[in-house]
Chain A
Amino acid sequence: MLDETLMQDAILLAARQSEFILEMAGISKNFGPVQAIRDVNLVVRHGDIHAICGENGAGKSTLMNILSGVYPHGSHGGTIRFDGEERHFHSLRDSEKAGICIIHQELALAPLLSITENLFLGNEIARGGVIDWEEAHDRARTLLDRVGLTEDPRTPVGDLGIGKQQLVEIAKALAKDVRLMILDEPTASLNERDSDRLLELMLEFKAKGVTSIIISHKLNEIRRVADAVTIIRDGATVDVIDCADHEVDEDRIVTAMVGRELSDRYPARDPKIGEVRFAVKDWQVADPQHAGRDVIRNVSFNVRRGEIVGISGLMGAGRTELALSLFGRLHGKYVSGEVSLDGRVIDTPTVAKAIDSGLAYVTEDRKGAGLVLEESIARNTVLANLGKVSKWGFVVDAFAVFDTAAEYCRKMRTRSHDVLQKVGTLSGGNQQKVVLSKWLFTDPEVLILDEPTRGIDVGAKYEIYKIVNDFVAAGKCVVMISSEMPELLGTCDRIYVMNEGRFVGEFAGAEASQEKIMRAIQNNQSIGA
């Protein structure tokens, strides 16, 4: 897959061996008949921050599992050289001993244990099996200082926000004398402020000589921190970019990732916007734990026929809570407010009633709350509207289920063996298409999308935007909640800005910009404080 110039580059790079801390060459890995990785080459210089890009399913995670010994030496092809020496890692322990440390997307912390206990888990500070708590807490303190956390090391990890948990995970790596730190999509679940802090920290570590690898989808992050980028597609390295000067050609990365020119990341659309269809008035919701404290404060908004309306805001602004409270009052305690569709007030005290009234909500947590992973595409597709595929309302017609699922797979271009495949075995993008199929099958008038393209590769994102466009083209309404501002700017006709449970701004799609949205949030924060 490497073209000639790249090959020469690689040879040149290899000649200056001492520069590299890690060299992986010709890595391949099969799972039964499926080839996950064909030919990956990865060289990382000492002291660099090296980014790895690729669509979901390109083989990034498999590669990291090989490097860390989760897939032991002998179960894969190719060679690994670390510090100029060929290494055979047989387990996670082997690679950790060499100083390679992985921080996974899904954090591996025990929520009920304290920070200290988590930091030294498996590596306890003890004499003869008896833990020396004084010493342990002291050492934990030093480690926390290094990652900029001020929390008491006795705090249970579960009490920390997700951003701080990530920092604890990094401190844990530091406790192990890390030489090469690998971060697998570290900012995927962080808000902008926490992401910022994390990237700063990476740069600090770099200044202290720690080498790191960051796996990321986010081009702006790569531009900010990466010294070199390796792009993987279909299990092979397709491009290596040296960008120590931080001048990254984003188009080159995207083109390499998807294997085609993607002139526009958002499909063209000709909006036909009509009268107001969906309206929420003075929506007020109280915190379930603290009576009197409101999570959603006096929110009013509307969506017109054929319109895509975005809701922007920082993590914790209350966007998901707003959606859940509208959709069957799944969050908080209803205080006041009213929802109407086509001028008629609708009552949505339960999810079933919300669905009947024409609402649909696509969750941000695809695996945790969107799909039954052990069940087939077919069964997931009809789950929210079993009545429609049943005789007399209670006998499920297996053939109708099959036909329905097959029809939606065709429409959505869901890639699968057949509709009886378990959804758990699909890629993120295809899983999201199944979730969308489920909701479109309920024939909603208003579709609320919560982070509809989180963790999905560029190609699948494009297809999902197209599905959404087709939906509104039929005169329906979409509410899109997203933390990715470019996505909102690229797809929405109108954008509301939410902060601390309130709506603090509204922009027409054409006049909105990242700066304006951020300013709206900051203005509100200074007033609120």
Chain B
Amino acid sequence: MATAFQSTKMPEAQDAPRPDMMATLRRAMSEYGLLAALVLIVAFFQITTDGVLLQPLNITNLLLQNSYVVIMALGMLMVIVCGHIDLSVGSVVGVIGALAGWLIVTHAVDPVTATIVCLVAGAVVGAMQGYWVAYWRMPSFIVTLAGMLVFRGITIAISDGASVGPFPESFTAISSGFLPDPFAASGVHLLSLLIGAVLAAAFVTVETRARARSASRGASVPSVPVFALRVGAISALMLAFCYMLASYRGIPTVVAIMAVLVAAYTFVMNRTVLGRRIYAVGGNLKAARLSGVNTARITFITFVNMGVLAAVAGLIFAARLNSATPRAGTGFELDVIAAVFIGGASASGGAGKVLGVVIGAFIMGVLNNGMSIMGLGVDYQQMIKGLVLLAAVFIDIYQKNRTA
């Protein structure tokens, strides 16, 4: 929403200098730089993998592989914007997977009930850690480092050190299923195309309305051709993306879950009182407290939320592997935290965007996927990912120093 005001001028600020070309370019770079980086990386691997990267089957795989990172990154963004960190999410993924296995496989609890129990368990895990951070002001780094060890231990204890599986099909469907096609047309998946069309139409409507409202306030809005080009390009991309998925087996259930969550969290962070308060708490704790914000409760909520999203990821991951293993989720916290920082979140809190984080997660995902297709060893993959993280944060800080 805020983008609608980007170039708005106060009526009385007549002497404000006209932004020159370089400044416009620089702003565009900081706004679309991350997206440009993703496009470049995709283009690079599209060439080096001889076009395998963008085949419908591989795109579906790429989405499936990264869905749980994206989902956890949404929660991690909130935690990091609030000025904290959660190192325990990988272990929580493990513990929830083990719990799901214990309930569904060992004790034959029905998957729906088990899923609910697991989500509640995730909330409890988050609350347990958030309690120390929010109400006793213990450093989140330490609390969640402890949590990382404790929950990994519990995972091993529940599963007795062995993998539990397989899960019934009704459970694995959350990660390997696709949205059903009521039209059952041959060749392409019609529902997926339809969803793409509806989304594109909704996007165009919302953007057009926002532009009209800004203009009615005397704000300077982009000219019609520029606006049409931007909105047209993005909606075309949405359609093309859905078409690609449709030409394989349609939209995977996980992708639908992920898309809904991304939309919901974008809304929460940008448009709700809770979201604005999280930014304020991370930006200046004292100022937020003096403004009547219950800072401890906000912090607590971000951790509970992180727990629930880690549980969602844990369920998806267990369903995808079709078994609960004691080592599930090991090292996930690093991918998730890296995605948030690559996505432009500030390490000191107070800044970061959902869209950035999603792009950040996919930059990591495409790197993983592309390098695997190329047959690069894990050794090189790790090195390259580490350097990408370093470079991304460096560019961010470099830009900030220049404007300061």
Known A371-B284, A402-B217; contact A352-B13, beta-carbon cutoff 8 A: no
Kindly state whether residue A374 has any CB partner on chain B within 8 Å. Answer: yes
Q: Which of B99-140 contact A (CB under 8 A)?
A: none
Q: How far is B289's CA from A418's CA once the two chains are assembled, in angstroms?
A: 26
Known A371-B284, A403-B217; contact A394-B273, beta-carbon cutoff 8 A: yes
Contact B2 A398 (CB under 8 A): yes
Kindly state whether residue A143 has any CB partner on chain B within 8 Å. Answer: no
Contact A396 B273 (CB under 8 A): yes
Q: Which residue on A lies nearest to B295, using beta carbons?
A: A351
Known A396-B273, A418-B10; contact A372-B288, beta-carbon cutoff 8 A: yes
Kindly state whether residue B180 has any CB partner on chain A within 8 Å. Answer: no
Q: How far is B273's CA from A24's CA once the two chains are assembled, in angstroms?
A: 52
Q: Which residue on A lies nearest to B213, using beta carbons?
A: A399
Contact A350 B276 (CB under 8 A): no
Q: Smallest CB–CB gap between B19 and chain A, Å?
A: 10
**Could you say which of B5, B13, B271, B273 contacts A416, with CB atoms under 8 Å apart?**
B13
Q: Which of A363-390 contact B (CB under 8 A)?
A: 363, 365, 368-375, 379, 383-384, 386-387, 390
**Could you say which of A368, A384, A402 contacts B291, with CB atoms under 8 Å apart?**
A384
Known A374-B350, A386-B277, A395-B271; contact A417-B284, beta-carbon cutoff 8 A: no
Q: Which residue on A lies nearest to B1, using beta carbons?
A: A398
Q: For B20, what are the chain A residues with a Cβ–Cβ distance below 8 Å?
A: 33
Q: Smallest CB–CB gap between B299 and chain A, Å?
A: 16
Q: Which residue on A lies nearest to B7, using beta carbons?
A: A418
Kindly state whether residue B274 has any CB partner on chain A within 8 Å. Answer: yes
Q: Smallest CB–CB gap between B351 and chain A, Å?
A: 6
Q: How far is B276's CA from A394's CA once the two chains are assembled, in angstroms?
A: 10
Contact A372 B283 (CB under 8 A): yes
**Could you say which of B276, B290, B351 contacts A374, with CB atoms under 8 Å apart?**
B351
Contact B276 A417 (CB under 8 A): no
Q: For A419, what are the chain B residues with a Cβ–Cβ distance below 8 Å?
A: 8, 10
Q: Smallest CB–CB gap between B344 and chain A, Å?
A: 13
Q: Which of A416-470 contact B (CB under 8 A)?
A: 416-420, 438
Contact B291 A438 (CB under 8 A): yes
Contact B217 A399 (CB under 8 A): yes
Q: For A395, what are the chain B residues with a Cβ–Cβ distance below 8 Å?
A: 271-273
Q: Smallest CB–CB gap between A154 and chain B, Å?
A: 29
Q: How far is B276's CA from A420's CA once the two chains are assembled, in angstroms?
A: 15
Inter-chain pairs besides A384-B291, A402-B5, A420-B6, 20 sampled, C-beta below 8 Å: A351-B290, A369-B286, A372-B284, A375-B279, A379-B279, A379-B280, A383-B276, A387-B273, A390-B272, A394-B274, A395-B272, A395-B273, A396-B270, A396-B276, A399-B213, A417-B9, A418-B5, A418-B10, A419-B10, A438-B291
- 12 sampled A-B residue pairs with Cβ under 8 A: A371-B284, A372-B279, A372-B350, A375-B280, A379-B276, A379-B279, A383-B291, A394-B272, A395-B272, A410-B10, A418-B5, A418-B16
Across the A-B interface, the 6 shortest Cβ-Cβ residue pairs:
A372-B283, A369-B286, A384-B291, A398-B1, A352-B292, A351-B292
